[in-house]
Structure 1
Amino acid sequence: MLIDAHCHVWRIGQNGHEWPTPDLAAIYRDFDLRNLEQDSKLYDLSGVILVQSQPSERDTGWLLELAAADPLALGVVGWTDLAAPDAPDRIATLARDPWLKGLRPMLQDLASDWILDPKLAPAIAAIIAADLPFDALVKPRHLPAMLELLRRWPDLRIVIDHGAKPEIAAGRLDPWREEMAALAAEPGVHCKLSGLLTEAGDRPTAQAVEPYARHLIEVFGPDRLMWGSDWPVLNLAGDYPSWRAMCEAWAPSEQHAALFGETARRFYRL
């Protein structure tokens, strides 16, 4: 079983598209699941989790339609505005779609403590009530707030996307290393081994990324770490086979079944 726990599809100019922008020439075009099948043809994909790429419910609605029609898509991590007055109702409505497997508010461009605003409490309570995972698209500056969020809402099922995007290009391990270990010490917190190559700047090599990947493998272990390609964003720094091969080399073989499929299947209740 191979489940890609994090990939994207988009249509330029449609479904609330805002990103990628034309300056990112390698990915500024339409991508669909047939393109993914071509790029991952060396592997027999059991399925993928489609993750929203736009802060738009139109994008989420389109992804849900794709998932319902395409057997490669096992589910969708969508978006809704958690700060909207009717956010609890929107969350409840989205949760009734069987293909919705989680929500992602795209915290990376928001204030580091935005998620702790008391005004968001009804939305977070609604996510928990719907038993939906919370995909945390964060950067290292958000990690203290994520730890506080977990302590306020211990029933919130959180997965940290892309290892919290460590500052690999700068070669900076700390305080990211200690803060990720503190998060991993909280029961139930999961993480995605994904998106690291694109954080390595002008040297997206195995040597640059390895210390960060190995730390995630060590502190989360195979039962709380899941592999994702972050395709097609991955194409900015590498390709599908090379990223998969790197992760296979870093993780002990006895962890592969969990890392490359079982943990995602269980966490997203596929």
Structure 2
Amino acid sequence: MIVDAHAHVWSAGPYAPVGGVPEPSQAHPAEDLLGLMDTAGVDAAVLVQPRAHGYDHTYLSSVLAGGNGRLAGVCLVEPETPGAADTLRALVGEYGYRGVRLVGPVDDPALWAAAAELDVVVGLLVQPGELGAVAPLAERHPDVRVVVDHLGLCPPDSPSVRDLVALAQLPNVWVKVSGLYALSASGPPYADLGSLVRACWWAFGPGRLLWGTDYPHVLGVGPYPAPAETLTRLLGPLPETELARVTGATAAELYALES
């Protein structure tokens, strides 16, 4: 089973952007992604609430309702606000979201407790300089599975790579090998990211790495990518069992996707 562990879809509006994200110039509906997945042989995807829609989950929730088991959702909840934990409970209870994304290493005790109670993944979008704060956060919440998005946004020559690979010491931390287009100075096939991806491979192993495209943003540098080709170009030939973990099995387990 091949899983795109990080993708976004959004409608033609209305938008309610958060975090300084501009309004999109065009829609990227789920139907477009599913068509590309079919062509690339991708079986399932984890859809992360786009910041263009902010905290309005109307569109993504409707997509998940018709996903036929191929799609899992990660919601976006505003932490450190009254009712944040109850909002998460409502989204999980009513629509079946299997993760929640936080922007920055935010420690909202009630929200993290709700994530543990609901057994949902906490995804962290952090800047390289914030990676040092992830370890104590994960240690304070050992019952929560934490996934760091986009290789921690680390440029391959950044000293923060040490902080990223150090997270492998914590058994409740995973890392997404996603958003490569944003980290590479050379573009596909991202040869300049080989050392970064290899460092994460040796630190975390295939069981705690997840491949993802960051669709539709990745389309700015080329077509929807095939996971096996992307990873083997960066890591060299891999045993089939290990390749299967990072390209799908691990994500399927974390986000309870049907095989």
| TM above 0.5 | yes
- Partner Cα separation in structure 2 for residue 209 and residue 182 of structure 1: 18
Residue 98 (structure 1) shift:
5.0
Decide whether aligned partners of structure 1 residues 121 and 20 sit closer, same or farther in structure 2, where only a CA change above 3 A counts. closer
| AA at the equivalent of 2:106 | I
Shift of 1:260: 1.0
Quick check: 2:37–2:43 contact (8 Å CA) kept in 1? no
Please state if 1:165 is matched with 2:153.
yes
Aligned residue in 2 for 1:212 = 196
Q: Percent identity?
A: 27
In the alignment, structure 1 residue 142 sits paired with structure 2 residue 135 = no
The match for 1:188 is: 172
Equivalences for residues 95-174 of structure 1 within 5 A: 95-97=92-94, 99-107=96-104, 115-116=106-107, 120-168=108-156, 172-174=157-159
Could you tell me whether the CA contact under 8 Å between 2:228 and 2:243 is conserved in 1? no
Taking the aligned partners of 1:194 and 1:16, their CA distance within structure 2 comes to 25
1:43 Cα shift? 2.0
Deviation of 1:103 after TM superposition, in Å, equals 0.2
Q: How do residues 33-52 of structure 1 correspond to structure 2 at under 5 angstroms? A: 33-52=30-49
Q: Deviations over 1:92-145 (max 9, x none)?
A: 2122135301000222xxxxxx614xxx21121111111110001111111111
Indicate the RMSD between aligned Cα atoms, in angstroms. Answer: 2.2
> 2 CA distance for matches of 1:93 and 1:141?
33
In structure 2, what is the equivalent of residue 110 of structure 1? none
Q: 2:239 aligns to what?
A: 253
- In structure 2, what is the Cα distance between the partners aligned to 1:53 and 1:194? 15
Residues 164 and 195 of structure 1: CA distance in aligned 2, closer, same or farther (over 3 Å): same
AA partner of residue 6 (structure 2): H
Are 2:68 and 1:68 aligned?
A: no
TM-score computed with the length of structure 2 as normaliser: 0.87
The residue that corresponds to 2:254 in the other structure is: 267
Deviation, 1:72, is 6.7
- 1:237 and 1:144 map into 2 onto residues whose CA distance is 30
Q: Distance in 1 between matches of 2:12 and 2:62?
A: 17
What runs of 5+ residues in structure 2 fail to find an aligned partner? none
Q: Amino acid of the residue matched to residue 173 of structure 1? A: S
Q: Deviations over 1:14-71 (max 9, x none)?
A: 252467647xxxx73111223224444542221111111126231x232121011133
Aligned partner letter, 1:192: K
Q: Which runs of 4+ in 1 moved over 4 A?
A: 17-20
Shift of 1:182: 1.2
How far did 1:222 drift? 0.9
Deviations 1:200-252 (A, max 9, x none): 24x22422121112222221111111111111111223332366522133341
**What one-letter code is carried by the residue in structure 2 that aligns with 1:220?**
F
With over 3 angstroms needed to count, the CA separation of the structure-2 counterparts of 1:179 and 1:28, relative to structure 1, is same
Which residue of structure 1 lines up, in the alignment, with residue 78 of structure 2? 81
Return the alpha-carbon distance in structure 1 between the equivalents of residues 79 and 127 of structure 2.
19
> Does the CA-based 8 Å contact 2:146-2:173 persist in structure 1?
yes
CA distance in 2, matches of 1:61, 1:105: 19
In the other structure, the counterpart of 1:111 is none
8 Å CA contact 1:42–1:241 kept in 2: the answer is no
User: Equivalents in 2 of 1:196, 1:227: separation in Å?
Assistant: 10
2:163 to 174, 179, 197: 179
User: Aligned residues, how many?
Assistant: 251
Q: Secondary structure at the match of 1:50?
A: strand
Going from structure 1 to structure 2, the CA distance change for 1:138 and 1:225 (only over 3 Å counts) comes to same
Distance 1:68 1:179 in 2: 38
Q: Which runs of 5+ in 1 are unaligned?
A: 108-113
